Structure 1
């Protein structure tokens, strides 16, 4: 049987814009970063951490970009967090040197990759950390470290190991208290592992809408952290660091005194879901910096359709919100499927001077969307288009590569 002809090499991904172009030239749909807003967020979070004497280790699973991780570290962050081994590998390959995998890794092949990456980072003057929540996880991690370096010991190991405790998320994590003490002691007793502290993240609290609700949730989490830390120290083992917190609650973790390091990530871009939270005046206000630029491709009697559907923005935390520029009428966004968004005028809106009724956009008009959830939205894009000077008249200043896009293993 005759072999089929070889397929041609794949075409490189087309960029939605080139540097120097005006914002109007950006092809759609595209993920666009308002650099002015992003830099305000960067500075406000860095200033908060400095003023309160806490370390900042932003979660890079949000932006998956080595450029943005380095920008955060230049502003004062000690390093970044990731959730997956492949995210750590991608960011390390692009020059990020201080990385913490705030998740469980159990597969032996992945753990060998973790151990090898730890050695590479150590050789480059960096460091790698990882979380565990079971004796099984500790044993598997130790086997991988020993296999990578037969002469490893607790003083030379390149890997920081944190015990994750469940402080309300109901996901990974050992129970606070004696179960966590046993894990910490097991790490400390192991000849090739180094106990680095506690991982304590309350993800559910991030999106509780009321400030009082969030305050109560973090107060309970803080008591669990403080009790666990005291028990470990009473057992004769120092707890060098407690790391955790998120964009919705970091001021509460800081005020409790129970956390030494903040892992907030979404603050850099923000999204529609976080914007629905009541603002805590103890936290700096953050600006929306991530937008999806879309274009109207169809107009009907009662609705218009744009070219940004599920493949352009994540909907796990709700549909995107339409961001009206000055002079534009208010629109609502309805689910249109993979490649379409359905737009309706908001009844009662009189944004457009003299408009007797709420107006629909016209064919070819730009519609800006604020995604419901920034993290998985970024993972849908190869590049982020960095714009300086605003969404209306700005200029493309930088194309930001999403280095860890699709890094799921």
Structure 2
């Protein structure tokens, strides 16, 4: 971290240069507390997904709030979390490359020496066999969750019979592999806009999961744990009684796409806590331009929303390219909202928090709100990248 970034701690929010990714710690902590209370009330293990914040610092905050461990989506994310002191990690993805599997074995050994544990997902005989071979490099064992496709149409076994066969194979490799249960996550349901749509998708998913659980139990391989669920649906998984552990990630920061979902009254209310701070650098008669383009926020789930502070006019964000964002006035019954002035700060809520964080080297954490807060810390995004 550069001296300039380190020097931000303790300064007023105006000292943050633009474009910058800023976390409102007060809002993030409220989100974290609400999720922890929900998990405790419903007697669910909480294992948040670290692929969202990609930061050991925020992972430690989640552990302090009651999380049992963290999920990671890549070997590199898991390694970064472990280096930051996280001892219970689940790589909720398939890993087939020999080099990466050797890193998995080394990480399992590292966590074992610290009293921790590593888990990983698998959905194929080849994946299990390669994992077992890599684990011969260490005396440590690794927990293996069979990934079941419950409607996502991505990774996962697609029939109960396939799950049973894979569980039997894992059991035969019991020296280095431990059959841990089922990984059942329906990512496609998270952003269905209405509560009714999400409940329908999870009703079908729960039916598929139940058939798989029953088949495993009939083979004397009842899953010790079923893990899954995301920010959009976790209350539905909780109500089903089929999941023991939930993996929501985006709830901590939220994003413009999740905020478009109809809120399920069974879930806590979460608020945006991740923002791109940007500055107006040009103004014309019909629009203004800010210095936050696509290099500062991901657009796979849509463009960012403009966050309106008290006294600010509501604006719409339009595509301006890599380095620019176009700010347009909104129509209020025939009268257009005023445009911001040159040099004015504008706050954006990214369309998708996970890949937006991946674009930045640091998160600037502030307390006291976006209008008059101070920088509490500059947090390194250790797990950014794809390896």
TM-score bracket for this pair, using the shorter chain length? over 0.9
1:27 alignment counterpart: 17
Judge conservation of contact 1:16–1:27 (CA < 8 Å) in 2: no
Cα distance in 1, alignment partners of residues 3 and 323 from structure 2: 18
Measured in 2, the distance between the counterparts of 1:342 and 1:14 equals: 29
Q: Distance in 1 between matches of 2:30 and 2:141?
A: 35
Question: Does the Cα contact within 8 Å between 1:167 and 1:176 map onto a contact in 2?
Answer: no
Gaps of 5+ in 1: 1-10, 351-355
**Structure 1 residues 31 and 13, CA gap change in structure 2 (3 angstroms):** farther
Select 1:129's aligned residue among 119, 127, 149: 119
1: CA distance, partners of 2:195 / 2:251: 17
Corresponding residue for residue 77 of structure 2: 87
* Contact in 1 for aligned 2:141/2:176 (Cα 8 Å): no
1:4 counterpart residue number: none
Question: CA separation of 1:290/1:23 partners in 2, compared to 1, >3 Å: closer, same or farther?
Answer: same
Q: Following TM superposition, by how much is the alpha carbon of 1:23 offset from its aligned partner in structure 2, in angstroms?
A: 1.0
Distance 1:79 1:368 in 2: 32
Match of 1:162 among 135, 145, 161: 145
- Partner residue of 2:236? 252
The answer (yes or no) to whether the contact 2:6–2:378 under 8 Å persists in 1 is no
From the CA coordinates, give the structure whose radius of gyration is larger: 1
Give the Cα–Cα distance (whole angstroms) in 2 for the partners of residues 74 and 228 of structure 1.
34
Which position in structure 1 is the counterpart of 2:380? 401
Partner of 1:272: 256
The aligned residue for residue 314 of structure 2 is: 330
Counterpart in 2 of 1:5? none
Q: 107, 111, 116: which one pairs with 2:101?
A: 111
1 CA distance for matches of 2:30 and 2:242? 27
Q: How many pairs does the alignment contain?
A: 386
User: Which of 374, 380, 398 does residue 359 from structure 2 map onto?
Assistant: 380
TM-score (norm 1): 0.92
> Cα 1:201–1:82, aligned 2, differ >3 Å: closer, same or farther?
same
SS at match of 1:334: strand
SS class of match (1:259): coil
Counterpart Cα distance in 1 of 2:24 and 2:288:
26
Separation in structure 2 between the aligned mates of residue 279 and residue 245 of structure 1, nearest angstrom: 16
Q: Does 1:224 align with 2:208?
A: yes
RMSD of equivalent CA atoms: 1.4
Pair 1:340–1:13, CA change in 2 (3 A): farther
Structure 2 alignment gaps of length 5 or more: none
> CA-to-partner distance for each residue in 1:124-164, whole Å, 9 max, x for gaps?
11110000000010110011011x13xx4xxxx43100100
